[in-house]
A and B are shown apart, each in its own frame.
Chain A
Amino acid sequence: MDIPREIVANLIRATTDVFETMVLKRIDLIDPAKEIPPRAGSQVAATVGFTGHRCGAVVFHAGADVAREIAGALLAMPAAEVNGEMADAIGEVTNMIAGTLRTRMASLEPAWAIAVPTVTIGSDFVTRYATDAARVLCAFDMEGQGIQVELILNRQ
């Protein structure tokens, strides 16, 4: 199962919108890859599931330092002072990306129902997916640092 092109295009637009409007950082798309590269640097993963007309999840991946920088930018505080706020901030960034994607897709098809975010922080986790799920990973450069947004669509 392939992920429809307009969903990927809207995911990229949604991510760019959230970063440029609220994080106030420019991000540039590196490559929407079908082959999922290893994510050695991913220490923070935030997931927002959705169901309804389509079923799946938006997952945001970043290293801990990048995640702290994003949280600091959102909260208008120095990244070095960010601690407990990081998980919630990355969860909300992911919520905004998934929600904006949902709104954009709602002009083309019935609106999805989206869940509240869950955030995983660690260093050695592997996520496995159902074999019949389709995935696309969009990698972005944020002022020299990497962030990734993944879309998972389950077969229905």
Chain B
Amino acid sequence: MRFLIVDDSSTMRRIIINTLNKLGHKDCYEAANGREGLERLAAATVDMIITDWNMPEMTGVEFIRAVRASESTRGLPVLMVTTNAAQDDIVEAMRAGVNNYVVKPFTPDTIREKIESALEG
């Protein structure tokens, strides 16, 4: 399984990748914003996307809309990891095409469970 982690914080990417490594997933691509994420997807195939929302250049929601609009990436599972947890945020993210949601700050158990349940489909 190959993952794409999109977050402007290298710290948050490292925390998520550490969690994935512990789950036995060593194959992770990184991108610092939605635009870089789309470039990654154009160059390589992945099995799942984990993305932040608040990022410069292209936000997570804009990124997911682009992912859902493209034939080759339309069906990819997307997990959003964000502090944006107001009712309207969750509605907006789900409309954009997010499959699963993790609210920051999160415990190691929470992120692990959400990744596992997203992988189960």
Contacts and interface: CB of A to CB of B under 8 A. Distances in A.
Interface of A: 17-18, 21-22, 71, 74-76, 85, 88-89, 91-92, 95-96, 98-100, 102-103, 106-107, 111, 114, 116
Interface of B: 8-12, 14-15, 18, 54-56, 82-89, 103-107
A99 B88 CA distance: 14
A107 B89 CA distance: 12
Nearest to B87: A106
Contacts of B83: 95-96, 98-100, 102-103
When A and B form their complex, which 4 residue pairs have the shortest distance between CB atoms, in order from nearest? Answer: A99-B83, A106-B86, A21-B105, A92-B9
A76 to B, nearest CB: 6
Contacts of A17: 105
Q: Quick one: which of B18, B82, B89, B105 has the most chain A CB within 10 A?
A: B105
24 contacts: A21-B107, A74-B15, A75-B15, A76-B18, A85-B10, A85-B11, A85-B14, A88-B9, A89-B11, A91-B11, A92-B12, A96-B104, A99-B54, A99-B84, A100-B83, A100-B105, A102-B83, A103-B86, A106-B88, A111-B86, A111-B88, A111-B89, A114-B54, A116-B54
Main secondary structure of the interface of A (DSSP, over half): helix
Given A18-B105, A76-B18, A92 B11 contact: yes
